Amino acid sequence: MPCHLRFIANTLVAPEYDCSAHEPEEWARVYGERKVVHGVWSIALGTICMFLYLPALRVFGRERRATCFK
């Protein structure tokens, strides 16, 4: 792991990572592609996961008042 962290700075200086050739709008216009199905899937899955997390928050809040957690 330390080996990876040591060389990451040299990797990010590489010309492949230099995006200053075009403005962000131009990158989106030239190379961008819309992925509607992926976007809808991501939003739906994220919403479902957040709603499933709400009962867990309620239980954690209830358990926090217990004396063993103080």
Number of H helices, E strands in the chain: 3, 0
- pLDDT, tens digit, for every residue of 16-67? 777 777 888 888 888 888 899 999 999 999 999 999 998 888 888 776 666 6
Q: In whole angstroms, what is the distance from residue 25 CA to residue 39 CA?
A: 19
Contact 69, 63 (CB under 8 A): yes
Contact 30, 22 (CB under 8 A): yes
What's the pTM value of the predicted model, to 2 decimals? 0.50
Given the structure tokens 């739906």, which residue do they identify? Answer: 44
